[in-house]
Amino acid sequence: MYQLEVAPGVTFVEGERRGRFPYGDVLVLEGREARVLVDTGAGEEVLAGVLDRGPVDVVINTHYHIDHVRGNVLAASRSPGAAFWCPEGEKEPLTSWEGFLRFTGFDDPGLDDARRFRSGLGWAPTPVVRELVDGEVLDFGGLRATVLRLSGHTPGHTGLWFEERRVLFTADIDMSSFGPWYGDVFSSIDDYLASLERLERLAAGTSGPRVVLTSHRRPLTVESFRARLPAFRARFEEREERILSMLAGVGPLTLEDLAARWPIYGRQSRVLPGLMKSERLMLAHHLERLARSGRVRCVAGPGGEKVWEAL
């Protein structure tokens, strides 16, 4: 197990498979008044190792995705008094399977395999008792963190800013090759871009972070994080250009036909359960954004079906 105390009271713990999905990295926060676990998707063996060192008082889920909540049941069983917190507006997909399906888009009748895959990874309802609001300061006793709402990935996706320690946790804004990801029903490209701008301003400040932690890679220096931002941000535009090129080259296409050409992730030799759902929803978010800017439009096709065409 790889772990690193990046600052007093803030320990990064790497999840199984180096934190790659369906696992994620977690944080252990230790103040005088509370021991806190941020996310629980590290995998059973890693998470048990964290909990072997003592129970936690609080579990913070940064958002409702399975690689961040799959260990909630284990955390609750090993820490019976633990309080579960989540971002404002994301209680529904954490407390209810129906809510989880509605937020993720897995309520589509054709996604039985993907639903079984997610439930098999350990989804269970979480007894959330507090919803965290952007800007509020959490004081654990000598260790304070400001709640940063970093919407886009999910509507309430949240990070933490340990200003006194100069440590920033950006959760799934991770600069990985898989991202940026915005493949749920209420994800938003515009919100994601605004979150990147917020992080860029914070990282550029003279009293900004020295270390940046994420959910799917080892700690980054702030210089490394800032160096990766332009290419990470550019993927939004690159994906839109591929969509426009496909529409211009082939002609009007339905959402399903366009998704089958994989403009987001490229053609897959092995399609994991739910990946096409992500492709389709991310594509839909791009098409809606391109329509708002007047670059595409949705019209009726020959058979009355909805098709998209470039302008």
233-245 confidence digits (pLDDT tens):
999 999 999 999 9
Residue 51 has pLDDT above 90, yes or no: yes
CB 166 within 8 A of CB 172: no
pLDDT at 241: 97
CB 229 within 8 A of CB 241: no
CA distance 125 to 109: 21
278-291 confidence digits (pLDDT tens):
999 999 999 999 99
Residue 251 has pLDDT above 90, yes or no: no
Q: What is the average pLDDT across 218-228?
A: 97
pLDDT at 302: 87
Domains in the chain: boundaries: 3-232, 235-310
pLDDT at 270: 79
pLDDT at 211: 98
Residue 268 has pLDDT above 90, yes or no: no
Residue 274 has pLDDT above 90, yes or no: no
CA distance 311 to 307: 13
pLDDT at 272: 79
Angle (CA) 8 9 15, round 5°: 115
CATH 3.20.20.80 fits 235-310, yes or no: no
**Sheet strands side by side (includes 144-149):** 137-139, 144-149, 158-162, 167-169, 211-213, 220-221
241: helix, strand or coil: helix
Split at pLDDT 50, 70, 90, the class of 102 is: very high
**Closest of 193, 188, 151 to residue 288, by C-alpha:** 188
Residue 110 has pLDDT above 90, yes or no: no
Average pLDDT, the chain: 96
pLDDT at 117: 87
Q: What is the average pLDDT across 79-83?
A: 97
Q: What is the average pLDDT across 135-162?
A: 98
User: Which pTM value belongs to this model?
Assistant: 0.96
Identical fold, 3-232 and 235-310: no
pLDDT at 101: 96
Residue 20 has pLDDT above 90, yes or no: yes
Q: What is the average pLDDT across 220-225?
A: 97
pLDDT at 190: 98
pLDDT at 106: 95
Q: What is the average pLDDT across 1-23?
A: 96
Q: What percent of the chain has pLDDT over 70?
A: 100
CA distance 226 to 213: 13
CB 286 within 8 A of CB 192: no
- Going by their DSSP bridges, the two strands 144-149 and 158-162 should be labelled as antiparallel
| Straight-line distance from the first to the last Cα atom of the chain, in angstroms, rounded to the nearest whole number | 52
Q: How far is CA 306 from the centre of its chain?
A: 30
Q: Which CATH superfamily is domain 3-232 in?
A: Ribonuclease Z/Hydroxyacylglutathione hydrolase-like (3.60.15.10)
Could you identify the residue written with the tokens 């591929």? 242
In 263-296, which positions are buried (b, 16+ CB within 10 angstroms) versus exposed (e)? bbbeeeeeeebbbbbbbbbbbbbbbebbeeeeeb
CA distance 2 to 16: 9
